[in-house]
Chain A
Amino acid sequence: MARFILKRLLMMILVMMGVVLLVFSMIYFSPGKPEDYILGDMATPADKQAFRVENGLDKPFIVQYFIYLKNMTKGNLGISYTTRRPAIDEILERFTVTFKISLLSIAFSIMVGIGTGVVSAVRQYSIWDNISRVLAIAGMSMPNFWLGLMLILLFSVVLGWLPASGIATWKHWILPAITVGSASTASIMRMTRSSMLEAIRQDYIRTAKAKGQKNLVIIFVHAFRNAVIPIITIIGINFGFLLGGAAVVETVFAIPGLGKLIVDGIKVKNAPVVQGGIVFAAVVMSFINLIVDVLYAYVDPRIRSQYMRPRSKRRISEPSKGDAANA
């Protein structure tokens, strides 16, 4: 297992170089020059040239790329053009906020999604199943900024229970977390439902029933453990997505998150922040994929046996001689 993880970490370095190249060239070759946005209309050509030299923009593309890579290994993602602070600091600051929202959202999605998914599968075609399926389709098709606005309207404006924007108290986090998490809740619910439906039709479920096992144990121990792999996959994908920041929802709730940072950066071609932010999100996504793969091995012995050598055999009681009946 350790070897597998190490291999994956080494592969991640290659992936990162690719991501950096892609993001770097997209920003480099896209139209518009940062100095035009940053320095404004009044800047003289000399000012602009000074800005280019200062930020290393006068060098050829390939040189800039390798300088960026070299700095990256030292944890230096450049200086933000607008705030003149290290980009990494800005990103980490914003990422903490995004991370908090994502964690809340995914926790909400997992609880609600898996809960309703299991109920839906176990009581297929019941009223609960129908309600949650309709809600799931709504959750997936609703634009989440719109959902955010509607939630603000209901809970902040009409009922006045929760604040509409900012991140001052824990109450501020509730609406954004639900808004951001609505789509992932829906997809987790749908995956849980279909995966559980498949699992509870398996023969080993009948075996468990024939043993006299209780329904709850059958559902959660026998069926759920077999159904959980695709659910983990979908949770991983959704969590990775959330951590990349949700620019639109962050705007709706006026939350200083990673998504908003990147979008604001794009507007002024603030390359260090945009590149750094995207690369950072990519690193996070890769780590989540790795965690998901490790979790696969943890829940499914068939996957585990591909990575691990069999454990040493352990006898728990001495066999009584002559008992080894082999017909």
Chain B
Amino acid sequence: MNKKILEIKDLHVHYLTDGYTVKAVNGVNLSLARGESLGLVGETGAGKTTTALGILGLVPNPPGKVIKGEIIYNNENLLRKSDAQMRKIRGREISMIFQDPMTALNPVLTVGAQIAEVIRLHEKISAGDALIRACEMMRLVGIDDVRHDEYPHQFSGGMKQRIVIAIALACNPSLLLADEPTTALDVTIQEQVLDLIEKLRRERGASLILISHDLGIVAEVCEKVAIIYAGEIVEYGTAGHIFDRRAHPYTRGLFDSIPDFSRKVHRLRPIEGMMSDPTKLPEGCFFAERCPYAFEPCRKIVPVFEPEPGHLVKCVLVEKGKAPQ
């Protein structure tokens, strides 16, 4: 069997609205090995969530549309699958943890029923047995299962996110997509939830794509890191590559905007400017407008360079060996 569980090749997703085309994802290339965890890092609007929804075939359509590309999951292109085939994959093979647990659960159904739902969809099992399994899942995520017949409004935010995790893991998926799973939570709860996801994932041997804008969280959990900017992966590599030998000016900018308590810095250094309007992206490197090192070749199509094995950078500076250190 292929070592790679997921490979995304040149994925383009656009949102078509009233004469505008919002280019949300523009040629994303990613690969993920079985059991591996990948952090997908980028700012708001960079196309992180759209990429994840693209994998599940859930890009809202209309207005969203996958323009081209391939999403190879277990040697099969998910983009060629019918909706019925995708329904068998969603929740069972690939499942997703959403950003906002407050709204991700249906307010009129009991949490037990919501966990049992996904189990019944994918396994031939009676309603009673599915509920028993749902209760097991609740215990697994650290919630007393006597609460299975309670409704989402009776739980706190962190508890709700545990329920969402229970739903996502109930059918032992091979690939877990976690879309900013801790962003909506208290800092005190973030750590617990993150540990829970990581622990259960490892126990079950699932691969993980962790979407985040928080490099700290990614550093904690992920072996591989992909930095996404304006719908494009600008740098990809192991956590070591990204955290120690980052090469792309955007990645460097991200790290500069993290407070570093070992150094005395008066103010953080944010990346100047705003991300390019996704309805009119520039030619060449999308980051050139904001890049302090931009020069003429950046206006042309930028190829991907590999300064060391497995470390991919989409920046001309890398080729010339001029990458800022």
Interface of A with B (CB < 8 Å)?
Answer: 202-204, 206-214, 221-222, 225-226, 299-302, 305, 311, 313-317, 319, 323-327
Contacts and interface: CB of A to CB of B under 8 A. Distances in A.
Contact of B91 (A202, A212, A305, A323): A212
Interface string B137-155: 0011110011111010110
Interface stretch (B6-14, B35-43, B103-111, B273-281): B103-111
A326 B142 CA distance: 5
Contact of A319 (B92, B108, B145, B167): B145
A211 B141 CA distance: 18
Contact of A213 (B104, B121, B146, B199): B121
Interface in B193-220: 195-196, 199
Interface of B: 56, 58, 86-92, 95-96, 98, 100, 103-110, 117-118, 121-122, 128, 131-132, 135-136, 139-142, 145-149, 151, 153-154, 164, 167, 192, 195-196, 199
B122 A204 contact: no
Given A300-B107, A316-B145, 13 more contacts: A206-B98, A207-B167, A209-B56, A210-B90, A212-B89, A212-B121, A305-B154, A313-B147, A316-B128, A324-B139, A325-B141, A327-B192, A327-B195
A211 B149 CA distance: 20
Contacts of B122: 212
Contact of A204 (B88, B106, B121, B141): B106
A311 B106 contact: no
B56 A210 contact: yes
B90 A206 contact: no
Given A206-B58, A206-B98, A212 B88 contact: yes
11 contacts: A202-B103, A207-B98, A208-B117, A209-B90, A211-B90, A211-B121, A212-B89, A212-B121, A226-B106, A301-B107, A317-B136
A226 B107 CA distance: 8
Question: Which of A207, A213, A305, A325 gathers most chain B CB within 10 Å?
Answer: A207
A315 B146 contact: yes
A324 B103 CA distance: 26
- DSSP majority for the A interface? loop
A325 B145 CA distance: 12
Given A211-B90, A324-B139, A301 B151 contact: yes
Contact of A323 (B136, B148, B151, B196): B136
A210 B96 contact: yes
A297 B95 CA distance: 33
B146 A204 contact: no
Contacts of A311: 149
A203 B110 CA distance: 16
A326 B105 CA distance: 21
Contacts of A202: 103
A300 to B, nearest CB: 6
Given A315-B145, A327-B195, A207 B106 contact: yes
Contacts of B56: 209-210
A211 B107 contact: no
Contacts of A319: 135, 139, 145
Contacts of B109: 221-222, 225
A217 to B, nearest CB: 9
Contacts of A301: 107-108, 110, 151, 153
Contact of B117 (A213, A225, A305, A325): A213
Contacts of B131: 316
A316 B139 contact: no
B90 A212 contact: yes
